[in-house]
Amino acid sequence: IEKCKVRFVVKYVTRQTTPHNMTSSPTTSAGAHRVFVYGTLKKGLYNHRLLSKAKFVADARTREKSFALLLAKAGYPYLIRTTDDPRSVPGELYECNDDTLAALDVLEEISTGMYSREILEVEVANGATPTALSAYFYLAGARDDLNVLPRIDAYTKELHDEVYLPKDQRGAGAYGSLP
């Protein structure tokens, strides 16, 4: 895992136009919410149980190449916007109900600012032409150790199994630990 300095970009840019092949809302006509996950919520990983009632849509990746994926000391990924070697991030796209979305907000500690729920465009393979869809995702909040966290290209099962430490096993006061 390579260590690098990453400039944290606080602003969030929204597109003013919607391409003809992209839906503009992360909520479907049936009321389900599309959510893009890139870490411990992916299939086969520790927190995927929270998506047990969600529908897997497809493997996906961020359409914008404006992100860096960092690895926190407790072994979970931390997605930030950056201008320093920005990249597209791979993950999975799900459709979930209001209760599941609320549970994800609790896991990602929206109320503390650890993450914020944002909207982005993801691309899913749809035959020869990728389809762009809007989805919710969790963007990392500010923290004082961003410049020392290692950068990763993707959060894999192998990496997860090697380094992930569940919240209830983290020391008191650690980022992402239980109160």
Q: Kindly report the length of the chain.
A: 179
pTM: 0.82
The number of beta carbons lying within 10 Å of the beta carbon of residue 66 is: 17
Confidence of residue 62 (pLDDT cuts 50, 70, 90): very high
CB 77 within 8 A of CB 2: no
Compute CA 117 distance to the chain's CA centroid, rounded to the nearest angstrom: 9
pLDDT at 3: 44
**pLDDT tens column, 87-142:** 999 999 999 999 999 999 999 999 999 999 999 999 997 767 788 999 999 999 98
Active site residues: 108
